[in-house]
Structure formats: C-alpha cells, structure tokens
Amino acid sequence: MEVTGVYHENCALFLYQQGFSVSIILANKAKRYLQSLGLKSKTDSIDAKGLAQMGAEQCLKKWQPLGAFFYKLRSLTRQHQNLQEMKTSVRNQIHALEHGMYLEKTVLKQLKASVKLIEKQLTELETDIKKALHSEPSIFQKVEHICKIKGVGILTVATILVETNGFELFENNKQLVSYAGYDVVANQSGKHTGKTRISKKGNSRIRRCLFMPAFCVVTAKTKVFFNLYQRTFEKHGIKMKSYVAVQKKLLTTIYALWKKNEAFDENYCQKEKVNIQVKEQELTSLLGSERAEKNSQTKSLATQGKHPVSDHSLLPLCKGKDKKKIKIKVLEKN
C-alpha cells in the first residue's frame, strides 16, 4: 500500500505492523502522476485507483519505521527546535515592547520570565540528548568522530541522524542531497538561461541545522570547506550561495564519516594525493624494472653464440688450430 504525505506515520506504522508492504511518497508526486493519467476529477475512489495503479507500475521503495532509539531522539531534537523558535519569537516581542511608544512593565516582566523558562528547558533537552547518545556506545563513537569538524556539535549531528534514520535508506550521496533539498535545479531552454538554485524540496530541518555550522567551518578556515567557499565565491561573488555549497559539502562529509566510521581529518585530501603519488612512483619503477629485464633478455638473445672476446686468437680452440697448422708445415718441409 502507498501512504501519501509526511504526517501519516501512525497509519503507515499500523499497516507495517499488519504485514503490508508500505511506501511513503510525496503528495505532489502522486498528484502529478494522477494528472499525467488525464484524470481531472478528484474523488476518493479515483485517488485509490490511481495510487493502486502507481504502486503496480512503479517500483517504489519499501518504507521502514524508525527504531525506538531514533524515534525518542527525534522527539527531543524537534522539541529543541520548537523551543528555539519560541525563544526567538519572545525576544522579538521584548525588543518591540522596549522600543515602543509606551512601555508596559508587567508584560515585559512576563516575557523575560518566559525566556528564562525556555532557556532552562533547552538546557534540559540538550543534556537528555547527550544522555541518549551515550546510551548507545557504537553510535556515540561515530558522533565523536564527526564532531571533530570545527563548528559541528552534537546537536547538529543528532538532528541529521534522526531525520535520516541513521542514513539507513540512502545508498549514495545523490539520494541524501536530494532528500535534504540541496539538489541543483537548472532553468535553461534555447537562448534563455535562468538562475540555478537548490530545489528546497526536502527535509528543511536538515538545512536549518547546517546553517550555522557552515559559517563556523568557513570562519575556522577548515581547508576542505574554506577552499570550496573561496572557489565558488570567485565564480559568482554571492556569499550565501557559497555557504549553501559548504552546507551540502558538510552533509556529504558527515555521511561518509558515518558510513566509514572514521574520524574527520583536515589533511585527508593531501594524504590521499601523497598516497596516489607514491603508488604512481611504485608503478613506474615496477614498469621500468620490467622493461629493463625485457631489454636484458633481448640483448642476451642477440649475443647468444658469440663469445665476448674480440681477439679470437686467444681462444683455446684457435690455439689448437694454430698448433695443427704448424705441425702440418713442419711435415711438408721434411
């Protein structure tokens, strides 16, 4: 069965527990498919037939529910995001009230108290997120490896993990980039060349949590990300566009470190280049030695049957022949 929409996890989980093969697809994707069939009306029966035909024709990926660990951790990270947004909203209200025409002290006092309460709840959530990660040593070890990137914290990594189910459903970088909405959309037809931009048709929580780390890694001048920022900024001169490229690079780097279970190394690319150069030198030396051996074999074959001595009179056989000639001459005289 196919379940459309993002907020139908409970229904999908129920069907999954009953033994059905469930696949969750985007609502606009199902809508476009029904439009491609030429269906103009919209009713429950038409939608059911269209979705059934879509499931029969296309090879849709089967959906798997989140585990208990990632499900609980996701509720913590999403609550942290909600509280952060509430805190920003209340601070804006305080700013507007303080710079207004008249100041109401009671309202200002309540707003400041609510900010303190939100900050207290945020610290509690952060400690709970750390405790949850510590409860799984294998996961926490990978998180520590990723957090060696300057500017990437535990909260950022936890958010990416829970929103991707620990990268369980992704086979390569392209799928992950498309899921996060970082895939590039081109607009070109004939002589018209429009602006290229990211699609933003994906998980906005991942893009949100990578916003500040992108600034931090560029400020810290981490080689991989700083070089990417400079290279892209020289092309178009738009800072935010370069920061988005850094966000995409951060996401793919976190994915690679998670899959390989390796710690982040700033000089990894340089070491790889050195290793490649060493291997190339070894290969060239091996090829050179093989060619030298082949040349030596050909030379030995060419000189086979010839003695290296240039003066053949010194050879023992030649001396024997000279003695025979002398004996023959002596006999003829006698």
What number is the average pLDDT over the span 123-129? 96
Phi-psi region of 194 (alpha: psi -120 to 50; beta: other; left: phi over 0): beta
Q: What is the DSSP string of 170-186?
A: --SHHHHHHHHT--EE-
Q: What is the pLDDT of residue 330?
A: 47
Determine how β-strand 184-185 pairs with β-strand 197-198. Answer: antiparallel
> How far apart (Å, rounded) are the C-alpha atoms in residues 270 and 73?
36
> How far apart (Å, rounded) are the C-alpha atoms in residues 41 and 43?
7
Where does the chain have alpha helices with state H?
9-17, 27-36, 44-57, 68-98, 105-134, 137-146, 154-164, 173-180, 204-209, 211-219, 223-236, 239-260, 268-302, 316-333
What number is the average pLDDT over the span 84-97? 96
Non-local CB neighbours of 215 within 8 Å, separated by 6+ positions = 151, 243
Q: Is the pLDDT of residue 314 over 80?
A: no
What number is the average pLDDT over the span 216-229? 93
Residue 185 bridge partners (DSSP): 197
Which of 239-248, 268-277, 312-321 is predicted with the least confidence, judged by mean pLDDT? 312-321
Burial pattern 125-161, b for ≥16 Cβ within 10 A else e, equals bbeebeebbeeeeebeebbebbbebebbbbbbbbbbb
Q: What is the pLDDT of residue 118?
A: 97
Q: What is the pLDDT of residue 266?
A: 82
| Average confidence score pLDDT of the chain | 83
Q: Is the pLDDT of residue 21 over 70?
A: yes
CA atoms within a 13 Å half-sphere pointing along the CA-CB vector of 50? 21
Residue 2: pLDDT band (50, 70, 90) is very low
Q: Is the pLDDT of residue 270 over 70?
A: no
What number is the average pLDDT over the span 77-88? 96
Q: What is the pLDDT of residue 126?
A: 95
What number is the average pLDDT over the span 7-18? 79
What percent of the chain clears pLDDT 90, i.e. is strictly above it? 52
Which of 47-61, 141-155, 231-245, 248-262 is predicted with the least confidence, judged by mean pLDDT? 47-61
Q: Is the pLDDT of residue 156 over 80?
A: yes
**Is residue 42 classed exposed, middle or buried when 0-12, 13-18 and 19+ CB atoms within 10 A define those classes?**
exposed
H/E stretch holding 192? strand 192-193
Residue 3 bridge partners (DSSP): 24
C-alpha dist (Å) from residue 295 to 75, 145, 283, 299: 72, 52, 18, 6
What number is the average pLDDT over the span 24-45? 87
> How far apart (Å, rounded) are the C-alpha atoms in residues 12 and 304?
83
Q: How far is CA 316 from the centre of its chain?
A: 78
Do residues 160 and 214 touch, judged by C-beta distance below 8 A?
Answer: no
Q: What is the pLDDT of residue 81?
A: 96
For the record, the structure tokens of 159 come out as 């958010």
